[in-house]
Amino acid sequence: MAVAPLLCASCGGGPKDGEVEAARITVHGADGEGAEVPEGIYGGFIEFLPGIINGPAGLWAQELRNRGFDEPDGDANGVSGEQAGLAWFPLREQGVNASWSLAPGGYNPRGAYAQSVVKSGGAGRVGLCQAVLLSPPGDYGFYIYMKGDASAGTVTARLADMEGTAILSEVSLGSPEDSWSRKEVTFPALAHEAAARLEVFFTGTGEVLFDEASLMSSRNVGGVRERALELYRELRPGVMRYPGGCFADQTANHWVEGIGPIDERGSPNWDEHWGSYQRLDFGTGEFVAFCRAIGAEPHMVVNFGDGTVEEAAAWVAYANGDPSDASVIGVDRKGTDWRTVGYWARRRAEDGHPEPYAIRHWEIGNEQYGEWENGHVTPEEYGAAFLAYRKAMTEVDPSIRVIADGHHEPSWYGPLLRTIGGQAEVFGWHVCQELKMDAGPGEAYLYMLSTPITVEENIARLRDVLAGDGYSRGMPMSITEWWPEHENEDWDSAALEGGLWTALVLNVLQRHSDVVEAACRTLFETMLIRIDHEDHHREAVLTPSFHVFSMYRRFCGDRGIAVSVECGSYAPPGQAENGAGVEVPYLDVSATRTDRSITLAVVNRHPSRIIEAAITWEGLEVSEAGGAVVLTSASYLDGNSLECPDAVRPISSAWSDTGAYRFPPHSLTVLTADILDGAPEASPSR
């Protein structure tokens, strides 16, 4: 939308901390209807890194780590994986003679190993165990594939306390057979247990082989934690980006390992970047089903670092292709034959999805400008490769929107855009704002809350560049990741200050929704779930950023309105060292509307002052009373925890314009009012 610039007028000496400061907000309804605010700007992002998709705090409801026994023996004890945290351990009672080893192959033809357990003598139990966290009340489905000697006798699955001394629940899996068989049982709900030790054991003698185990709450929805799904539905992200991030370009990420029967998927997948094994049980089908369940559009990132053009085209074929399409994809530089479009479309149908997924958003790689990224290249090299990827992918499905993975720095976007010309549907780039100074919490707060101004500056500069000749007559942009610094002793992104930073960026996106069609907030899952490492309790704890997203999705309209502000301002700490030179307004405002209502989203950056702002409505007549929702706390350092999950939460009330509205310090306020018939030239105070 066309946006009037923010006007900041100094208030002279101004009031002291704790006093009230004056300001004015003018909503320019007479300027005509603004641009549509696309739902894509409220997008999210998840990634296969520790604790985000897989793992005890992850989206996927699988409670077992290394469930396919495919990780190599890191401890030289014969058991798959390393004995650290939530992992498989050998189980042997005193006096038992036993051994463990990894047997190549197993039930899963695409897995590396099966786990062998041999008992040669002694009385007592032998087997495997793993510590697991348990979700809120609900029973648990458990299964494991096994085969072996009948002399081993009955195999038992048990949930015990974490020390293994008290039996919480126990079920029989029956005896092993000569060939692989899946043994499936249900553990009843354990309402008062947050964690347990899963034990699988036998007491006879002989060898038993195990493969592909699973422990999931019956309260999962399509494999996703029920509570997480509920919260994502509240956030209603317009798009969701997958499967990374830096993970997207790793050898661990090949989409073919995440399709087909879930117990026959490729494993193990070692992620060099994040230093973890990741199993792609949350694969293409599961991700798309999740997106449909929460009302989001899937946004796929193809593997540029370790992938190939043909692999990317085959992914489009799997997702969107017609089973009757005989078009040849071809053999890639690694020697893999990617067959035809129809072959992969038929594979999708065999996986239970005969209709195409119709995925529209496809991004080529992730942060190729960075030396940290697998597949780091020059902008010219990336541009040439991008054209090859786009050609192959759009030949499979011409309707897709292919996103170039760019950067806001001229040294990158200049050569890249010259190389690709107008042959991209969307220009993508990332926002990562760090605390680039030594500061205490007070200075860190003011500095970080000034940084969204640079996002606005970069959007304005790129708007001009993309409007130039050869760039698709104003190519839209997508900010495919945006986040503040996650960990700093002086800045807490999970506290209220992080929520206010999130609100400031959302205001920027709303003000520029004529050119920004989507934006993916990095790592949505970190706004949802916490674990108490003392008693292993797991619960969804909503951060202030979660509440911010929820407030915008609940109240903001679908069209923008220009708005200007007159208020006090400040010079960000450390701006001399960081080349700044700006005055940052204490109030930041975006305005949106529907046919019937108008919404103002107002951030008061001031750490200690109330700002009293008169609101003038130009070209609009609005109701004399409306609703106010305020997110604030005693301190901008306050956050939510397992002990105090609602310490920072939105408070709703009615409001009426009696001349001005008082915005609390360090707060987000969302004001809503009905739009009435008629349009006076100006309505300064309703």
Burial of 163 per CB tally in 10 Å (0-12, 13-18, 19+): exposed
CATH code of domain 20-37+559-675: 2.60.40.1180
Please say whether the beta carbons of 210 and 117 come within 8 A: yes
Classify residue 64 as left (phi > 0), alpha (psi -120 to 50) or beta: beta
Backbone angles phi, psi at 593, to 5 degrees: -150, 165
Cβ neighbour number for residue 595 with a 10 Å cutoff:
8
pLDDT (tens digit, 9 = 90+) per residue, 648-673? Answer: 999 999 998 767 899 999 999 999 99
pLDDT of 568 higher than 80: yes
Question: What would the mean pLDDT of 293-301 be, rounded to a whole number?
Answer: 98
pLDDT (tens digit, 9 = 90+) per residue, 139-174? Answer: 999 999 999 999 999 999 999 999 999 999 999 999
Classify residue 85 as left (phi > 0), alpha (psi -120 to 50) or beta: left
Instruction: Give the 3-state secondary structure of 567-624.
Output: CCEECCCCCCCCCCCCCEECEEEEEEECCCEEEEEEEECCCCCEEEEEEEEECCCEEE
Nearest C-alpha neighbor of 682 from the set 21, 23, 24, 1 = 24
Nearest C-alpha neighbor of 603 from the set 496, 460, 459 = 496
Two tokens at 505? Answer: 């960026």
Range 39-55+222-517+532-550 has CATH code 3.60.10.10: no
pLDDT at position 579, please?
Answer: 44
Of 87-91, 392-396, 654-658, least confident by mean pLDDT is 654-658
pLDDT (tens digit, 9 = 90+) per residue, 467-493? Answer: 887 777 789 999 999 999 877 888 999
In sequence order, what are the beta bridge partners of 200?
A: 128, 157
More confident site: 95 or 51 = 95
Whole-number mean pLDDT of the chain? 92
Residue 683's pLDDT band (cuts 50, 70, 90):
very low
pLDDT (tens digit, 9 = 90+) per residue, 400-447? Answer: 999 999 999 999 999 999 999 989 999 999 999 988 888 888 999 999
pLDDT (tens digit, 9 = 90+) per residue, 570-605? Answer: 999 876 444 456 899 999 999 999 999 999 999 999
Most confident of 31-35, 295-299, 412-416: 295-299
Cβ neighbour number for residue 637 with a 10 Å cutoff:
17
Residue 678's pLDDT band (cuts 50, 70, 90):
low
CA 442 to chain centre: 29
- Residue 419 sits at the vertex; the CA angle it makes with 413 and 424, to the nearest 5 degrees, is 80
Going by C-beta distance under 8 Å and a sequence separation of 6 or more, which residues neighbour residue 518? 38, 40, 41, 43, 238, 239, 299, 361, 426, 478, 479, 480
- Residue 479 sits at the vertex; the CA angle it makes with 251 and 512, to the nearest 5 degrees, is 175
Please say whether the beta carbons of 502 and 452 come within 8 A: no
| pTM score, whole prediction | 0.94
Backbone angles phi, psi at 514, to 5 degrees: -75, -20
- Domain made up of 88-217: CATH architecture: Sandwich (2.60)
pLDDT at position 1, please?
Answer: 35
pLDDT (tens digit, 9 = 90+) per residue, 180-218? Answer: 999 999 999 998 889 999 999 999 999 999 999 999 999
- Domain spans in the chain, listed from the N-terminal domain onward: 20-37+559-675, 39-55+222-517+532-550, 88-217
